[in-house]
Structure formats: C-alpha cells, structure tokens
C-alpha cells in the first residue's frame, strides 16, 4: 500500500497550509480524502502532487476557476492543450497589463519624489499631487479600485 500522509504532513510536503487544504477540498479542487477509523484525513502521493500543482498555479496568479479548468485538463491528458494555452495566454496579458500599470505608478512616484523640495508641507509636491488626483498620470487597471490594496495570492 502506498504511503499515506496526515493533513499536517501533506501541508509540509506540498507547501500548502492546512486550512487551505481544507478549503481546496471544500471547493472541489482536491477530492475529499479517505479517512482513518479515527476520522483523520489521509493523503496519498497523487494528492500531494495535486496540492503542489495548485500552489504553483496560485503563485503564478491563476484564479481558482482557471486552476479548476487546468486540473480537469490534467486529469484527461489525451486532449488538446489549446484550452491550457488559452488560460496561460490570458494570464500573460493580465501580467503585462499589471506591469504597465506598475511602471506608470513607479514613474509617477519618481516624479513626486523628485519634485519634492524638502521644504514645508505647504509647498510639498507629494501632498499637492495626492490632493489633486487630476494630475495623476498613473492609470488603474480595469476593475482595480484606487482605494483598494493590490490583490494577493492568498490561499
């Protein structure tokens, strides 16, 4: 019989935290594992590989639904990889847009800092630009609110 891991061992080996493993089971990314007589979850090598796949995809910024599709594709290796390619291309476009937005943000912050005279707040270019968003040359990505922090790859 293949080695079975507890949820703690699966977390350590895969690099995915225990609550996140439970979450992935809850949303169907990871099949519900068999349980011991003591009702403890047990994970095999395939579960560990699947968790590592999900973790890596999340690190690359793929959304849960894209990962769900990629996992379905992985489970049926004989089909065309066109769908996987399309998902990766879409993610690449998102990354390129984010890079463009961050480049514009960097340029604006550089202008603010370079324009600062280190004098009094009344003459502060940083405060002036922040107070008059009309002068802002940084443009947010579609769906990115100006008052929200950048999304993180939580879970």
Q: Are 51 and 18 in contact (CB under 8 A)?
A: no
**Is it the case that residue 113 has pLDDT exceeding 90?**
no
Q: What is the pLDDT of residues 37-96, one digit of tens each?
A: 898 999 999 999 999 999 999 999 999 999 999 999 999 989 889 999 999 999 999 999
Give the fold, CATH level 3, of 7-75.
Multidrug-efflux Transporter Regulator; Chain: A; Domain 2 (1.10.1660)
Q: How far is CA 100 from CA 55, 97, 105, 146, in A?
A: 26, 5, 9, 16
Domain limits, the chain: 7-75, 82-135
* Cα distance between residue 151 and residue 49, in whole Å: 26
The pair phi, psi for residue 27, each rounded to 5°, is -95, 0
pTM for the full model? 0.71
Higher pLDDT, 23 or 3: 23
């Amino acid at each position: 019989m293949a080695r079975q891991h507890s949820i703690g061992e699966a977390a350590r080996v895969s690099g995915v935290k225990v609550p996140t493993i439970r979450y992935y089971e809850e949303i169907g990314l990871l099949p519900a594992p068999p349980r011991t007589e003591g009702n403890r979850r047990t994970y095999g090598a395939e579960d560990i590989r699947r968790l590592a796949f999900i973790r890596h995809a999340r690190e690359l910024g793929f959304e849960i639904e894209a990962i769900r599709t990629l996992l379905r594709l992985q489970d049926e290796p004989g089909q065309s990889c066109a769908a996987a390619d399309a998902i990766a291309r879409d993610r690449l476009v998102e990354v390129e847009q984010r890079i463009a937005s961050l480049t514009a943000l960097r340029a604006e912050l550089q202008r603010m800092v370079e324009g600062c005279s280190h004098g009094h707040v009344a003459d502060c270019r940083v405060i002036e630009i922040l107070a008059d968003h009309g002068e802002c040359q940084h443009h947010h990505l579609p769906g990115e609110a100006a008052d929200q922090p950048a999304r993180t790859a939580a879970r």
